[in-house]
Structure formats: C-alpha cells, structure tokens
Amino acid sequence: MAKKIQITETVLRDAHQSLIATRMPIEDMLPILPKLDEVGFYSLECWGGATFDACIRFLNEDPWERLRIIRKNCPKTKLQMLFRGQNMLGYRHYADDVLEYFVQRSVANGIDVIRIFDALNDIKNLKTAISAAKVAKKENPNVEAQVAMSYTTGPVFTTQYYADYAKRIEDAGADSICIKDMAALLTPYYTAELVEAIEKAVKIPVQIHTHYTSGLASMCLLKGIEAGADRIDTAMSPLANGTSHAPTESMVAALQGTEYDTGIDLVKLSEIREYFMGLREKYIKSGLLDPKMLATDAKALIYQVPGGMLSNLLKQLKDAGKSDKLTEVLEEVPRVRKDAGYPPLVTPTSQIVGTQAVFNVILGERYKMCNGQFKDLVAGKYGTTPVPIDPKFRKKIIGDQKPVECRPADLIEPELEKLRAEIPQWIEQEEDVLTYAQFPEVAPKFFKARRDKKIGINPDADIKNKVHPV
Ligand code: CO
C-alpha cells in the first residue's frame, strides 16, 4: 500500500535559526512565499522557537506582523510553530491564563500546527498547551497539537522510555508526535528501532526532526521512513546541511517513484532553490553565514551537546579569558547533567547546565557558585527531572528549601491582567501584552522603536544639532 510521506519545510524557522542565528528578516522571505505555498508541503515551519526573540531584539520586526504577512501570502499551506510548553517562547514558566491566550492569539494570527515540547519531557508541563490547542481547534479544524519528545541519551533514555512517553503523549490528547533530535544524536539504525517502537505504542502520526551536524540526518530520515514514520523535517538545500537539516530536494528525489513518494515536484523546488541560493550568497558575503556551519562535524556524537550550546560555551569561556578550558567544560557537562537528574539539553536546560559546567571549571571547585536558574532546576521549578535528584545533592544546592513536586505552573497566580496593567502606554494591538510577557526587558525598547518609526523619529538623528541623515 502506497504511503505518501509528508514534508515540513523548515527554511523559514529552524534552518536559519541553526545557520544564521535566526536573522532572516521578513523582507528576505516575502518574494518567495507564494512559491513555497504552491509546493504542497505538509506544513511550513515559520514561527516560534527563537524567531520571536530575534524579531524584537535584533530585527526590529513585530513577530505578530511577520506571522500575519506569511499567512496572507501562504493561504494554502499549514503554518507551523515551535512552542516550549509552559515556557511558551520565553525562559520561565508562565501562568495558564497567559499560555492559553498566547495559543489563542497564535492561531488567530495564522498558526495551524503547534509543536509543543518540554525540556524535561515532563508531561505535566504540556497539559495546558495541548488543551489550549484543542480549544483553538474548535474554531479552526486545521489546528494540530503536536508534541515533540526531546531526544537525548543517558541511562534512563531507552527505547522503552520513548515508547512509554509516546503513549502518555497520545493519552494526553496530542494529534501527532515528533521525535525532536535537537542535538543531532540519532544514528540511522537506531532511528529505525526507535520509530518502530513508537509506531507500535501509538496510533497518531510520527514525525522526525533531526539535524545534519554529524552528516547522518538523511540516512536517519530514510531509515525512520522505512520503519513507519509519516512525516519528516527538511530544509531547502541552500540553507540545509551543516547544523541545519537534510536538503528538501534530496529527500524528495530519494523517495520519488517509491511507495513513499512525496508527490512534490522537483522542478518547483528548483525554482525555489534558485531564490534561496541568492540569500545564501548574500549571507556568506555579509559574514552572517559562516561556511564552517555548513561543514560536517561528528563532534556532536562525541560530546552530545547541541551545536548552539557548544558555541555558547565557547563564548562564555572566551569572555572569561579561559578559552583553553573547553575540553574540561565539555567533560564537566555530563557530570552536571547527571547531578541535575539527566535533563535533555535543549532550551532552557542547555543554557542552565552549560553555565553551571563553566562555573564549576573556571572557579576550580564544583558548585562553589550556582546561579538562580540552576537552583530552580534542582528545586523542581522546571518540572520533574527524568531521574530523581539525589537528596544530598539537592540539599547542598538549595539548603532546606522544599522541592516543588506538583506542576510548577500550579504555583503561579493568573498574571495576564497584571502584565497588561504594566504597559498601557505601549499597547497598539492585543498581542503586545504577550510580547511583553515573554521579553519584559527587550519588549519596551522594541515598542518604543516601533512608535518612533511610526511618528517619523529617526533613531540615527542627531537631536542636539537637529541633523537628520538622509
Ligand atoms: Co531543531
């Protein structure tokens, strides 16, 4: 029986998040959106993840307006976002009222598929997001609550662990499941074993998300498809490979004429490739895209840390004048991870564990200093860790403070109205309160720049000498 494999195209989100620090502005997307909409992709991943932060922090772009523009230019294809469960797109846990409103506004502005994950694979942290998506589905039948399992390795992370977690995800009401291999740790034959076990455990569609870092992604996807996966994530070739994904054209070509044929036309893809090739050249010329990012590097398999985390560690060490300590830090990361209950390394746990490993190495004494986030992780404020934390270690880090055992968001009072009351002067649209909720420091600066632009104040103007550059 023929089974059409569906493709999620990531060029508008994860591909540029992985290669150029999420700096693709809407102007670079706009000319090609109508063509992307004609291909017949299952979905276009274009929002969430780091795009929101990058929009307001670096690009001076309203992320909500970006979403509306993409929706208007891609009326046929499902639009997809990446969503960090109870952390939404920020770095802390939010009250349920804020999360529910965020999901509602995301759908109202054009999102169909919400890919929800939790850094600790704690199902408690996914509940509200799944039910909020279900509520939105009543308005828009295209809405899909997809839950992604953060894939990692370690003593508890057996095939059985993922099969059991998949079952719990299905029972929680998810419409589909994604294996989210953010650190490019999957290998082809293991992918087959994993997909087969998950397919046995659940009836909902299974999607694979992996990165090309160690050069294995397309093989993993192929073995996963043969084992029963329904959907794969790929990226248009000019922004594929390296720390990004397997090239869309190659995967479509590999499956063409087989029982897994995607039905996608390679000629259409080649026109789109031409456009993105121009962007690739532009980004290389401007220095935004470092060709090193496009090279294959199996280091990820050795150190088991995501690419973004590796460059963060290196930057932290450089800033401290200790670049020579990278190997020691990379050896310390698994030890910190073990102490902290084996969290998968993905935002925000990758930053928390990485920073602690840096402290432990450069201060010459383990846990001499801990930042608040590490204490919160150990105190259970991010949820239940995959392995229970040793009570002795916990006491050393948080003293006699009582660890959180319930769902962390149950301890947060409703906060939407309070947040709204903090920024009446900046609200131009309903969604602004959600932008502010997630980035309370950056959002006001963005709101001010947006207003200045509207009333014609040039930020480069020399106010004192009344000179406006032309
Ligand atoms: Co990714």
Element (H, E) at 440: none
Tell me the C-alpha to C-alpha distance, in Å, between residue 129 and each of 135, 172, 321: 10, 11, 42
Q: Which two tokens stand for residue 24?
A: 């693709």
Q: Give the per-residue pLDDT at 456.
A: 81
Quote the DSSP letter at residue 80.
E
Q: Give the per-residue pLDDT at 300.
A: 80
| 298 residue type, one letter | A
- Count Cα neighbours of 406 within 13 Å in the Cβ-side half-sphere: 5
Count the neighbouring beta carbons within 10 Å of the beta carbon of residue 459. 9
CA of 17 to the centre of ligand 1 (A): 8
| 297 residue type, one letter | D
User: Tokens 């088991």 belong to which residue?
Assistant: 304
CA of 92 to the centre of ligand 1 (A): 20
Q: Which of 25, 33, 64 is nearest to 48 (CA)?
A: 64
Q: Give the per-residue pLDDT at 84.
A: 95
Strands 78-83 and 144-150, sheet pairing: unpaired
What global pTM score does this model have? 0.93
> Under a CB-based contact definition with an 8 Å cutoff, are residues 68 and 431 in contact?
no
Distance CA 336, CA 451 (A): 45
CA of 223 to the centre of ligand 1 (A): 19
Q: Give the per-residue pLDDT at 314.
A: 84
CA of 152 to the centre of ligand 1 (A): 13
> Under a CB-based contact definition with an 8 Å cutoff, are residues 269 and 236 in contact?
yes
CA of 180 to the centre of ligand 1 (A): 7
CA of 121 to the centre of ligand 1 (A): 16
> Under a CB-based contact definition with an 8 Å cutoff, are residues 301 and 213 in contact?
no
CA of 106 to the centre of ligand 1 (A): 20
Strands 176-181 and 43-48, sheet pairing: unpaired
DSSP 262-318: ----HHHHHHHHHHHHHHHHHHHHHTSS-GGGGS--THHHHH---HHHHHHHHHHHH
Residue 114's φ and ψ, nearest 5 degrees, are -105, 110
Counting DSSP H helices and E strands in the chain, the numbers are: 21, 8
Q: Give the per-residue pLDDT at 313.
A: 87
Q: Give the per-residue pLDDT at 350.
A: 92
CA of 319 to the centre of ligand 1 (A): 27
Kindly give the parts of the chain with pLDDT less than 70.
Answer: 1-2, 307, 458-470
CA of 13 to the centre of ligand 1 (A): 9
Three-class secondary structure of residue 125 per DSSP: helix
In sign, the C-alpha dihedral spanning 177, 182, 185, 186 is: positive
How would you class 127 by CB atoms within 10 Å of its CB: exposed for 0-12, middle for 13-18, buried for 19 or more? Answer: middle
Three-class secondary structure of residue 435 per DSSP: helix
Q: Give the per-residue pLDDT at 298.
A: 86
Distance CA 330, CA 308 (A): 14
CA of 269 to the centre of ligand 1 (A): 22
Q: Give the per-residue pLDDT at 3.
A: 82
> Under a CB-based contact definition with an 8 Å cutoff, are residues 139 and 110 in contact?
no
Distance of CA 253 to the CA centre of its chain: 27
Q: Give the per-residue pLDDT at 461.
A: 54
> Under a CB-based contact definition with an 8 Å cutoff, are residues 70 and 390 in contact?
no
Q: Give the per-residue pLDDT at 460.
A: 58
CA of 394 to the centre of ligand 1 (A): 31
CA of 264 to the centre of ligand 1 (A): 23
Query: What percent of the chain is helix, strand and coil (3-state, nearest 5)?
Result: 50, 10, 40
